[in-house]
Structure 1
Amino acid sequence: MSNQYKSALHEMASTTPTDFWNDSCSISELEYAMEYGGVGATTNPVIVGEVLKKEMHLYKDRIKELIQEMPEATEDDIAWKLNEEMAVAGAKVLYPIYEKTKGQKGRISIQTNTKYYKDPKLLIEQALHFGTLAPNIQIKMPTTKAGIEAFEEATYQGISINATVSFTVPQALAVAEAVERGLKRREAEGKDTSWMHPVCTIMVGRLDDWLKAIAERDDVIVDPVCLEWAGVAVMKNAYKIYKEKGYRTQLLAAAYRNHLQWSEFIGADMALTITNKWIKRFNHSDITTEPRIDKPVDPKIIEQLAKHFPDFNKAYQPDGMPVEQFETYGATSRTLLQFLAGYDDLIRMIRDMMITVK
């Protein structure tokens, strides 16, 4: 690493097309990431709850004010108002980057209510509302059948989407096709798309988690190294197809479990949303910043995964599963349940402040 760069992450951000974001709505964590070249941020119900637990001293007074300002509000109303305010605060920090890059960087994602994962109308309605909060807001919706419908319509309405709860090549392709339909409808009416920046997340580490769970459940013996490469293999395959088809959606890697989920993507026209913990780990690592995105995963690893895990084939092959199966895919089900539980935890924290026993 050259002395002119603060870390390997900083060098990557400065010398390659690969961007990284802060996977949190914490302002202090976002500012730290930006010191090393970070150009975006993401949130979800679990993240908001975790930030509150760590930084409640920063938000406690505001929550009490909201309770006073909104005397008839439910705990859900307060939670969503707080969620929106946290996203807007992050958007303000990132806005200069957004303006400088004409909308291609400098965004923060806010996630729709996970409970809407089956209802495209509710997803679209909330996405359009979130789109009014700040110009550099990006709207996260789950990559379910309903989500695919919502991605097209929200894109047509001018929303830059972030497809989340996504782990597979079929999901990534369905997202990109939906966005293209939305962009083309918009352009056919002479509406501007130049400042829009849609992204599709692949939660690479969560795919690894799911295959490890299958191996444990079904007593599958496989070279354990293979289970650290599944998400990387899927992302590289999706990236290759995206480039071949010229999609205008950018891929976004998320859910870090090891350095391969960063180092193997260096050099890609891709974004990486990384938690503060992993940003610090990568910053202090001695991994060289060299492009590896075009280096294929060892075919023997692909072969073992394909042989032992039908769910890997569903994730890796472009036609691995139809859109109707997206929400019942194991990694999707597990993540939806975690996001719903994270939302419940957030609501409990708000409720405990609204209802006190004296």
Structure 2
Amino acid sequence: MPTNHILEIAEYGQSIWMDNLTRDLIESGELKKMIETRGIKGITSNPAIFEKAIAGNKIYDADIEKGIREKLPTYKIYESLIFDDIRHACDIFRPVYEASNGLDGYISIEVPPTIAHDTEATINEARRYYQEIGRENVMIKIPGTSAGLPAVEQVIADGINVNVTLLFSVDSYINSAWAYIKGLEKRAAEGKDISKIASVASFFLSRIDSNIDSRIDNKLKAGAVSITQEAKLREVKGKVAIANAKIAYQKYKEIIQSDRWKALAAKGAKVQRLLWASTSTKDPDYSDVMYVDELIGPDTVNTLPPSTIEACADHCHVDNRVESKVDEAYTLMENLKDPDIDIDIDRVMEELLSEGIEKFVQPFQSLMDSLETKVKQLEPV
């Protein structure tokens, strides 16, 4: 029987989740099989995933027709479809949730991306999603925007599991970690149990390298680059995302050594694990498992699309590397300021956050449009 390297990764304290969810996966039994044969311990979803799942797929037609008969608006039909998928996936992963004592077995669903900059709307939708889905192992995704983080704090205080998403900069991760801690502190101050709440901080990877690599390629194509400058630029290419993530992990270790965290841990609080997201390699010149191999380590999650899961099961090189070459990571990030490289990492991160929200808003709106079209097609004449 071929070796499944994903099972080896679990031995290093990292959980592998899948970045994909469709009704086909649920009803065919494939999702249950992925747990059994690939060791998958959770699911992340987003509007882009649901757009691909629902648009043009007849498997949802009966439920859409039911929504039409009930005279539901299109948005409510959409929710009925995805809430149903999330509930069934939660039920499939319930044994994982129970066996891990609430560490794994979560299904993440994102609040509407159109409210990413509205704190109160985010809080209200997170509460409603959690209540209507009605599963302990659902995890509500909230963007790590300036408006999103206060929502994270309140929603955690409410006792709801949160996946803080769209984190690019180390500072944004630190802010998300403290939002989690503040939420737990608020809940604990009210005398409520904090031991059953879970959170992950979704730190994005490949989009960072794609952005920076494009900048480097443009500098190289522009010409008038000295041999020294070219060497410096090529040395940075394809390495920033992993270096950035390794620094974030060091910050995680510092945070869990703080007195504030230790006080919460004494009351049973679970650590907010760093989750490596955007892990499919975009450049064919790079290893298709580079964002897995280089970031294996304790108290982390890596969420992988199906193709990367299969690649990793086949040829990941498993070792505890999240704390290897940390000094080099700090040096590399500092070198971006070198006049020969001249990449403003703060500006890159701001761009990526803005683009990240838009990359969720566009498929969400596209899905609403295609669902509206399908509703009109299925409406009785």
Q: TM-score range by the shorter chain?
A: 0.7 to 0.9
**Aligned length in residues:** 338
Residue matched to 1:265: 295
After superposition, residues 231-310 of structure 1 pair within 5 angstroms as: 231-246=241-256, 248-256=271-279, 257=281, 258-285=288-315, 287-296=316-325, 298=328, 301-307=332-338, 308-310=341-343
Quick check: 1:266–1:293 contact (8 Å CA) kept in 2? yes
Deviation at 1:333, TM superposition (A): 1.2
Q: TM-score, normalised by structure 2?
A: 0.82
Report the structure number with the largest CA radius of gyration. 2
Residue matched to 2:46: 44
Deviation at 1:172, TM superposition (A): 0.4
Deviations 1:37-61 (A, max 9, x none): 111101110011122248x233222
Relative to 1, partners in 2 of residues 1:282 and 1:88: Cα closer, same or farther, differing over 3 Å? same
**Matched residues in 2 for 1:216 and 1:333: separation?**
22
Deviations 1:65-124 (A, max 9, x none): 22223x1x2222211222212211211111111122222111100000111111100000
Relative to 1, partners in 2 of residues 1:147 and 1:350: Cα closer, same or farther, differing over 3 Å? same
**Matched residues in 2 for 1:263 and 1:330: separation?**
27
**Which one of 6, 9, 12 corresponds to residue 6 of structure 2?**
9
Alignment RMSD, CA only? 2.3
Q: Greater shift after overlay, 208-217 or 185-194? A: 208-217
Residue matched to 1:321: none
Deviations 1:270-322 (A, max 9, x none): 0011111111111222x32111111125456445434335443567xxxxxxx
Pairing 1:114–2:116 present: no
**Matched residues in 2 for 1:354 and 1:79: separation?**
11
**Matched residues in 2 for 1:37 and 1:331: separation?**
31
**Which one of 1, 12, 19 corresponds to residue 23 of structure 1?**
19
Q: Greater shift after overlay, 157-166 or 29-38? A: 29-38
After superposition, residues 133-152 of structure 1 pair within 5 angstroms as: 133=133, 134-152=135-153
Residue matched to 1:322: none
**Matched residues in 2 for 1:356 and 1:188: separation?**
53
Q: TM-score, normalised by structure 1?
A: 0.87
Deviation at 1:64, TM superposition (A): 2.1
Residue matched to 2:357: 336
Residue matched to 2:73: 74
**Matched residues in 2 for 1:277 and 1:291: separation?**
23
Relative to 1, partners in 2 of residues 1:303 and 1:171: Cα closer, same or farther, differing over 3 Å? closer
**Matched residues in 2 for 1:86 and 1:224: separation?**
44
Quick check: 1:204–1:232 contact (8 Å CA) kept in 2? yes
Deviation at 1:224, TM superposition (A): 4.3
Deviation at 1:138, TM superposition (A): 0.4
Can you give the 5+ residue segments of structure 1 that lack an aligned partner in the other structure? 316-325
**Quick one: percent identity of the two aligned structures?**
24
Can you give the 5+ residue segments of structure 2 that lack an aligned partner in the other structure? 223-229, 262-270, 282-287
Give SS of 1:252's match: strand
Residue matched to 2:368: 347
